[in-house]
Every structure is written in structure tokens, then in C-alpha cells.
Amino acid sequence: MELLDLVVPVREGAVNQQLRYALRSWEANLLHRRVWIIGYRPPWLGGVGFISTRQTGRTKYANTTLAMRQACTNPEISDPFLYANDDLFVMEPLDAMPVLHRGPVSRVEAYYASRASGQYLRGMRETRDLLVQHGHEDPLSYELHVPLPVSKAGMLHALDTGRHLDVIHKRTAYGNLSQIGGVRIADVKVLHRGPRFDRSTPFLSTMPDSFTNGEVGRLIRTSFPKASSYETTRRS
């Protein structure tokens, strides 16, 4: 089995404890070849591929789109690769990362529309409309907080197709235009500090507050107490 690289866009910031524990979880439970950090490398982090980028985009979405393009055009990064974020945790051993989706965009949109507005929701709607224009009448959402297997050519095609959008939902555009299919799951992001969250899933994701102060963060830190080989400063 060919191992894939893990590609992680990282924003500027000196500590990033979520990334520290995400790396511990990936080293323990997700087989991979190499980790690539794109954007900013915290001072405690070593043993990874690194591509520095100037994070000058008007939004975080523009910065992550730049990071994605960097990954897709770098010949040293595996093709395909696993696209992840610094707050994604794999809690059980996996031989390979499955393709997962969140169900129809229409249902995800209704969920967000009942709770919030803003750039993210607008980007969801504009990405949905783009996909409908390209023949995907009821597109699936791939905006899950889990790693996503990505082919370089397919993702570049998705980014080029949606290059006029301020906030393109990259995962969703790629997943539908490349027709990657997959298995439906509920999103695993834990927003709150309390003890009620799904512990049966092999995946978890956190917010900074739920990681630092919540029960989910305590579970993750307890599950991965030992430093990974990516930590040059072995501090928990």
C-alpha cells in the first residue's frame, strides 16, 4: 500500500497546542508517509516538510486556498495526499483514510442558515450554485472536520472552476467535480466544553476553547500523553 503525505495549512501563531496533539494522533493512528506544513511552522515543530507562505489573503479562506495550490503544485508532495487541518484528531488506528462526506449541501445549508450567517454560509451557497451550473443538481458537502484524500489535478480543476468565488468551499467543489463519492457521517466538530459528544467515532475535532477547557480536550490530551517524533520541544 502506498502511503500518502499529510498536508496541513497552519496560520501564524507561536504555540498551537491543537496541532501538537493532532500530530500525536496521526502518528499513532493514521498511516502516512510525511507531514507537510504550509504557511507557518511553530518553533517546537520538526521533522516535517515545510512551505512558507505569506498569509496576506483578505480572509483565512484565501490563505488556505493558497496553501492548497502550493500543495497541488509541489512535486515532492505525494499525489494523492491527505488534506487535514490542525484541529483534526484520529482517535483509533486506521490503515487508510476513507472518503467521507456530510450529505447533501442543501441540508447542511439549512443547518447553518438557522444558526448564523456570514462568509462561510455565503461561500457554501455560492459553491452549491457553481456545482449546480456544472451539472451537479444535488451536490454533496465534503466540509467535514476529518482528513480528505485529494488528487492534485482534481483539486486544481476545482480551484480554477471556482476562482471567481471569494469563499470557495474547496472540499465540496473538489469532491463533486471529481465525483469521489464516499460514506456519509455526521460532522465531528465539538464546539462546547461539556461531556456530551460522540465518543464512538474514530475522529474528533475541536475549537480552541473546547480543546483547552472542555471535556473533549481532556480526552484528547489523555489519549496522547507522549510526544510525537515531530516535536523538538517535548512539552505537553
pLDDT in tens, 15-52: 799 999 999 999 999 999 999 999 999 999 999 999 99
- Asked if 143 and 171 count as a contact pair (C-beta separation under 8 A), the reply is yes
Euclidean distance between CA atoms 148 and 140, whole angstroms? 14
Q: What is the model's pLDDT at position 129?
A: 98
Q: What angle do CA 34, 17, 225 make, to 5 degrees?
A: 80
CATH 3.90.550: does it fit domain 6-223? yes
Q: What is the model's pLDDT at position 15?
A: 78
Q: What is the model's pLDDT at position 158?
A: 98
Residues of the chain with pLDDT under 70: 14, 57-58, 117, 233-236
- Asked if 87 and 205 count as a contact pair (C-beta separation under 8 A), the reply is yes
Q: What is the model's pLDDT at position 157?
A: 98
Q: What is the model's pLDDT at position 57?
A: 62
Q: What is the model's pLDDT at position 236?
A: 43
Q: What is the model's pLDDT at position 38?
A: 97
Cα 66 versus chain centre, distance? 14
Euclidean distance between CA atoms 224 and 32, whole angstroms? 18
Q: Strand 189-190 and strand 203-206: pairing?
A: parallel
Q: What is the model's pLDDT at position 172?
A: 98
- Global pTM reads 0.94
Which of 150, 218, 147 is CA-nearest to residue 185? 147
Only one residue has cell 470557495, namely 168
Q: What is the model's pLDDT at position 233?
A: 64
Q: What is the model's pLDDT at position 95?
A: 86
Q: State the cell numbers at 41.
A: 511552522
